[in-house]
Structure 1
Amino acid sequence: MVRILIVEDQKIMQKYFEYIIMQEPEFRHIQTVSDAREAVKICDYSAIDLVIMDVQTFHNHDGLSAGKEIREKYPYTKVLIVTSLIDPKVLERAKSGCADSLWYKDHGEEEIRSVIHRTLNGEHVFPDMTPKVELNWITSGDISPRQLEMLRLYIRGMSYSEIAREMKCSTSGVRWNFQEMIARAGYSCKEDLIAAALESKLIVTTLK
């Protein structure tokens, strides 16, 4: 019997994952919780074979941090991150030890089911790249990783000069990259670019 814990704060997705689990005779649904921190506590006193974990959980608690803690404390427990966040940092962190696998919520039921089985069988299943989203005239794939990191640091509160020091370049270089992103995307100012990046979940800064 495969014991499964669901960590998801959206009711509709809770029911969706519960439905998938109930279709499999060898799966046993242990519990559904909305907080990643609570998931760690449950693993402390219950033997869990698989945690299906969202990234942004109740109170914005970070499912990736919880996944890393669970994997380090309980190597037999598999952690599958299923998220709608397309921020490349999410995929990067998942691959760095925070999860056994990661997949995206907007993929079909059979695809998610396959990833669950493959993860339980010991595979590490990750997409090759994050999905692309439209940013007015361009897609997120048209923004270089370096430009995306500059945008991320600015959203976190850094000035152009602070970003330049962090990324070992000139302040004018940072300014040029912002102007280039704004112009190519067809926005009138950087505030519009920032709003689009946050709304599309291309950049996530709210995790705790």
Structure 2
Amino acid sequence: MIRVLIVEDQKIMQKYFEYLIENNKEEFQHVQTIADAYEAIKICSKTRVDLVLMDVQTFHNHDGLKAGKEIKEAHPKIKVLIVTSLIDPEVLARAKSGSADSLWYKDHGDEEILDVIRRTLEGQRVFPDISPDVQLNCIQSDEISPRQLEMLRLYIKGMSYSEIAKKMGCSTAGVRWNFQEMISKAGYSCKEDLIAAALESKLLVTTLK
């Protein structure tokens, strides 16, 4: 019997994951549902858990990927499956680099999620090839380059154009040009509209602790 710990702070998703587990009692046993990824680290140290089904952005904005990495390092036999609605490419890259055994997105059906769970438990690493695209006014998000997305991420985190330029090895004028190109290409009137759209669509997440 596979013992499953659910880490999710949204009530509706808690109920959904509990339904998946309870509806397959011949395979899975529900250990507990918690809202805080950091609490999962403590539970895995005290209780037998085979699979952690975890969101990225949990209670207090605690980082499910950071918690997943700590769990995997301390308990290599525990499988960590990240299930998220965040399409930020950095989330997928971090998950692949050692913070999770697998990652999948929430807007998929029961059978697809269960298939990812089973494959993960069999030892497979299951990840999408790329993050999904979203509409940003006139364009799809894949029309913004990874370098431009990183500039936008750094700006949202509070860095100035000159600080971004220094970090990314380019000129301040180059950073300004990239912002103007993103704003113009997407058809926004100012960078504030671009930032709002990127955050609302979950293309970028900068609040994880």
User: Partner of 1:52: helix, strand, or coil?
Assistant: strand
TM-score normalized by the length of structure 1:
0.99
What is the match of residue 5 of structure 1? 5
Distance 1:86 1:114 in 2: 20
What is the match of residue 20 of structure 1? 20
**Identity among equivalent pairs (%):** 75
Specify every segment of 5 or more residues in structure 1 that has no aligned partner in the other structure, as ranges.
none
What is the match of residue 162 of structure 2? 161
What is the match of residue 100 of structure 1? 101
Tell me which amino acid in the other structure corresponds to 1:176.
W
Report the RMSD for the aligned CA atoms in angstroms.
0.6
Q: CA deviation at 1:109?
A: 1.1
What is the match of residue 44 of structure 2? 43
Deviations 1:113-159 (A, max 9, x none): 10000000000000000011100000111100000000000111111
Tell me which amino acid in the other structure corresponds to 1:182.
I
User: Partner of 1:122: helix, strand, or coil?
Assistant: coil
Tell me which amino acid in the other structure corresponds to 1:145.
P
Q: CA deviation at 1:107?
A: 1.1
TM-score normalized by the length of structure 2:
0.99
Deviating beyond 6 angstroms after TM superposition, the runs of 4 or more aligned structure 1 residues are none
For this pair of structures, how many residues does the alignment match?
A: 208
1:75-86 equivalences under 5 Å are: 75-86=76-87
Deviations 1:147-172 (A, max 9, x none): 00000001111111111100001111
1:59-138 equivalences under 5 Å are: 59-138=60-139
Distance 1:161 1:85 in 2: 29
Distance 1:107 1:129 in 2: 15
Q: CA deviation at 1:100?
A: 0.1
1:187-198 equivalences under 5 Å are: 187-198=188-199
Specify every segment of 5 or more residues in structure 2 that has no aligned partner in the other structure, as ranges.
none
1:193-204 equivalences under 5 Å are: 193-204=194-205
Q: CA deviation at 1:82?
A: 0.1
User: Partner of 2:52: helix, strand, or coil?
Assistant: strand
1:169-208 equivalences under 5 Å are: 169-208=170-209
Q: CA deviation at 1:23?
A: 2.0
